[in-house]
Amino acid sequence: MITSRQLEYVQAVARHLHFTRAAGYLRIAQPALSQQITKLERQLGVALFERDRHRVALTPAGAALAEHADRVLADLVAIDEQLRAWSTGTRGLVRLGTARGLVGRLARVLAAFGDQYPDVDLELREMDTAAMVTELVDGRLDAATLAAPTADPRITARPLGSEPLVLIVAPDDPLASRDPVPVGDLDGRPFVLFGPGSAIRDLILATFAAADAAPQTRYLSREYATARTLVSAGLAAAVVPRSVAAEDGPPVAVRRLDPQPSWNPVLAWSARRRPAPALAAFLDFAEDGLRRGQ
C-alpha cells in the first residue's frame, strides 16, 4: 500500500522534475529520494519517471499517480485542519433545548455565537423542563436552558439570574386597576396554565398553594403567545415571566403579584460526559450573554 510519505515524494519530483531540487524541497538527501522513488517503482511494478543525466520526465503512470497524489494530499490537509478545528471548538455541533420563556434571550446569544464561531452548527428545540432533563441525561441534547434548577445529580447547571413572574389580564379586567394583586384573590379564577412537565407551571401552582388558593384551569397551552391571545380576549388570566409579558402581542395589562414569585433559569448539561470542545466554547460564551439578557 502506498503511504502518504511516498505520495509526497512523487508529488515533489513531479513538480520540480529534478531530483536534487525536489530533495531540497523535502529536506532530505538526494540519494535517499532517488532510492525511495526506485523502491516505489519496484513496489508498483511500473516506471514513474524517465530520467537520465540531463532530464526527468513523468511517464503516463507517473502522471496519473502524481494527479492522485495532489488530490489525496490535499484531502489529508483538509482532514487535519477540520479535525484540529473540532478539537479546538471552532467546528462542531451543539444540540440545544430551551424553555419557551428563554427563547428571546437565547436567540441573541446564538446570533453572537454564530458570528464568532461560524463553523459550529447549532440545533435548537423548545421543550418542557422535564423532557430536557431526560434528553440531557440520555445524550440527545448537549445543553439546555432550563426554567428552574434541577436536583438531578446527573446534571451540571449554572444559574442565569432570577426574573419575576407577573400576572397578565385583559386591559378591561377589574384586576387591571390593582397593583400588586394578592395571589389569594385569584382563587378559583379561570387561568391559562402550561402543561405538565413545565417548571413554570409547577412554580405557579406552588405559589397559589402557599396562598391557600388554586387557579381554575380553563385552558392548557404550550405557547406563551397562545396564552397571551386568550388573556387579551378576556377568556382567562395567566402568569408569565416579566420578559415574556414585555414582548409584542395582543394588548394585556401586566401586574405584579403579592407574594412575588420568581423563576431561576439555569444553563445545564450532562455531569457524566466531558463537554466536547464546541460545547465547552458555547457554554463559556453563553453564560455571560444569557445573564446579561435577563
143 & 273 share domain: yes
In terms of domains, do 274 and 134 share one? yes
pTM of the complete model beyond 0.85 = no
User: Mind giving me the DSSP string for 183-229?
Assistant: GGGGTT-EEEEEPTT-HHHHHHHHHHHHTT---EEEEEES-HHHHHH
Clarify whether residues 99 and 228 are in a common domain: no
Q: Give the three cell numbers for residue 44.
A: 508498483
pLDDT reported for residue 294: 46
Residues 270, 150 share a domain:
yes
- Cβ atoms of residues 154 and 272 within 8 Å: yes
Q: Are 191 and 267 in contact (CB under 8 A)?
A: no
Rg over CA atoms, the chain? 32
pLDDT tens by residue, 79-134: 766 666 566 656 778 899 998 878 877 888 888 888 888 888 889 998 888 889 99
Q: Which residues contact 35 (CB under 8 A, 6 or more apart)?
A: none
- For the chain, the average pLDDT equals 87
Q: 148: pLDDT confidence band, cut at 50, 70 and 90? A: confident
Across the range 256-267, mean pLDDT stands at 91
- CATH code, domain with 133: 3.40.190.10
Q: Domain tally for the chain?
A: 3
Q: For residue 51, what are the β-bridge partners?
A: 56
Question: What's the domain range around 178?
Answer: 164-262
Cα–Cα dist 199/116, whole Å:
32
Residue holding cell 457524566?
A: 272
